[in-house]
Chains A and B, each alone.
Chain A
Amino acid sequence: MGELPTIVIVATGGFLVGLVFGATAQRTNFCTMGAISDLVLMGDARRFRAWTLAIAVATIATQALHFSGAIDINKSIYLTPNLGWLGAIVGGAMFGFGMTLAGGCGSKTLVRLGAGNLKSLVVAIVLGIVAYMTLRGLLALLRTQIEGTANVDLKAYGLDNQNIGEIAGALFGVSSDAARAVAAIVAAAAFLIYCFKDADFRRSAANVIGGLVIGLMVPAGWIVTGILGADEFDPVPLASITFVAPVADSLQYLMTFTGSTINFGIAVVGGVIVGSFLMAVTTGTFRIESFVDSGDMLRHLSGAALMGAGGVLALGCTIGQGITGMSTLALGSVLAWLSIVGGGYLGMKYLEEGSFSGAVRAVFARG
């Protein structure tokens, strides 16, 4: 292991993480969009609880790794003192809305793609292109405008990161370490209680296993990048599972391979597709699917674009912010996650009512 270049170790680790993620999601039907859809259409919260179980598991493991000194979670992109609250809210809502149109979020798109769905191949490509446009291209102009005008620099308030415990500690005059520990315990406990108080969820093995395994892929990512990737001369950036920028990076990697270097995110993307493919073939669920009509295609294309742009604005997706970001207890991640869920809810109403104005009316009609 000492002779292998760090990047090879990190890429292999990332691929394995993706493999487990993809196979598990395919087999257990873990689906963040499905979680919202089940809730809205049938009042069934089991898949939503699978998502929150993943958050709880990821939070406990991430915080444990941080407090044990194995990794410094403040080095992740989620905890910087640069609070992109507007991007989190607008981008999150865009992403949540988009995923209902596109048949699933970024990770689900890769899982579907691995299982033979050509619609999801198109979604992945459009998502990647639009995300890259938002990172570095035409849409980056809009993004930097939004970030430039709205971003809040928490350093001006004496904070050096956006951990919700840290912020609460500063407000109440409690030490940063104590406040962060309390926040971690309270958050994890709240999510665990929410998950396991429901007998239907407890009895649903697929959802419990799915949530558990997916949640464990977050600390797996921190370990691969933060420990295995901690090269003395060229450490890789601390990162874990997320599926917007890495999809964009994967497209670019495929296109510029001869002059490009792989990274953790790209390896995960590859692993998810392969893992899902292997599981689908093994369970006999692999099938080629394509667009039904132009409406179907338009929905998928717009959903993909919304996810690509929204996911970059929000610094992540249902997994990147919704699980990985949340596990760091970053304020921006909480805002992004809530906005994604809200956007998803609006998207479901849009599909039900057939129009955007109908969707807005439906949201307010309930209360």
Chain B
Amino acid sequence: MTSQVLDAKGLNCPLPILKAKKALKDLPIGATLEVLATDPGSVADFEAFCRATSNELIESTQEGNVYRFVIKHVR
């Protein structure tokens, strides 16, 4: 499944969440958004975001300095 990719590397909060929120709004239900970020706070932020908006956080991984989040647009 190909996801839309949002590069939020180098941006600090609240921008990664803000941009992800905007990107998700334009995605059809069931589509996934992949977010790349470097802000250490983004792990907690994306967990909280998915929890609060009932979107599914399929993946939350880290490769070196980059965090990778895959979010499924549920509603």
List the interface of chain A (C-beta within 8 A of B): 29, 31, 33-34, 37-38, 41-44, 46, 100, 103-104, 112, 115, 117, 119, 280, 285, 287, 289-292, 296, 348, 351-352
- Number of A-B pairs, beta carbon distance below 8 Å: 63
B31 CB-CB contact with A under 8 Å: no
Residue contact B17 to A291, C-beta cutoff 8 Å: no
Residue contact B10 to A292, C-beta cutoff 8 Å: yes
Proximity string of chain B (4-26) to chain A, C-beta cutoff 8 Å, 1 when within and 0 when not:
00000111111101100110000
Residue contact B15 to A351, C-beta cutoff 8 Å: yes
Known contacts: A31-B41, A34-B41, A115-B40. The answer to whether A41 contacts B21 by CB under 8 A is yes
Residue contact A41 to B38, C-beta cutoff 8 Å: no
Chain A: CB-nearest residue to B51? A44
What would 13 A/B residue contacts be, using CB atoms closer than 8 Å?
A: A29-B41, A29-B44, A33-B14, A34-B13, A37-B14, A38-B45, A42-B52, A43-B52, A44-B52, A117-B12, A292-B11, A296-B10, A352-B22
Known contacts: A29-B44, A31-B41, A34-B41. The answer to whether A289 contacts B52 by CB under 8 A is no
Q: Which of B20-43 contact A (CB under 8 A)?
A: 21-22, 38-41
B9 contact set on A, CB distance < 8 A: 292
A280 contact set on B, CB distance < 8 A: 40
Contact of B14 among A29, A292, A351 (CB under 8 A): A351
Residue contact A352 to B18, C-beta cutoff 8 Å: yes
Residue contact B17 to A37, C-beta cutoff 8 Å: yes
Chain A: CB-nearest residue to B64? A287
Residue contact A290 to B10, C-beta cutoff 8 Å: yes
Chain B: CB-nearest residue to A280? B40
Contact of B17 among A42, A100, A292, A296 (CB under 8 A): A42
B58 CB-CB contact with A under 8 Å: no
A119 contact set on B, CB distance < 8 A: 12
Residue contact B49 to A42, C-beta cutoff 8 Å: yes
B2 CB-CB contact with A under 8 Å: no
B17 contact set on A, CB distance < 8 A: 37, 41-42
A104 contact set on B, CB distance < 8 A: 12-13
Other than A37-B14, A287-B65, give 19 A-B pairs with Cβ distance below 8 A: A33-B13, A34-B45, A37-B13, A38-B48, A41-B14, A41-B21, A42-B49, A42-B53, A43-B52, A44-B49, A44-B51, A44-B52, A112-B12, A285-B40, A289-B10, A289-B38, A292-B9, A348-B14, A351-B15
Q: Which of B44-60 contact A (CB under 8 A)?
A: 44-45, 48-49, 51-53
Question: Looking at B9, B12, B17, B38, which has the most chain A CB atoms within 10 Å of its CB?
Answer: B12
Known contacts: A42-B52, A42-B53. The answer to whether A100 contacts B14 by CB under 8 A is yes
Chain B: CB-nearest residue to A120? B12
Q: How far is the CB of A301 from chain B (nearest CB, A)?
A: 14
What's the Cα separation between A351 and B21 when bound, in Å?
12
What 10 pairs between A and B have smallest CB-CB spacing? A292-B10, A42-B52, A37-B14, A103-B12, A285-B40, A44-B52, A44-B48, A42-B49, A29-B44, A41-B17
What's the Cα separation between A42 and B12 when bound, in Å?
17
What's the Cα separation between A34 and B65 when bound, in Å?
22
What's the Cα separation between A285 and B67 when bound, in Å?
12
Chain B: CB-nearest residue to A291? B10
Question: Looking at A43, A280, A292, A296, which has the most chain B CB atoms within 10 Å of its CB?
Answer: A292
Chain A: CB-nearest residue to B49? A42
What's the Cα separation between A119 and B17 when bound, in Å?
19
What's the Cα separation between A44 and B49 when bound, in Å?
8
Q: How far is the CB of B33 from chain A (nearest CB, A)?
A: 15
Residue contact B38 to A287, C-beta cutoff 8 Å: yes
What's the Cα separation between A304 and B73 when bound, in Å?
35
Residue contact B14 to A42, C-beta cutoff 8 Å: no
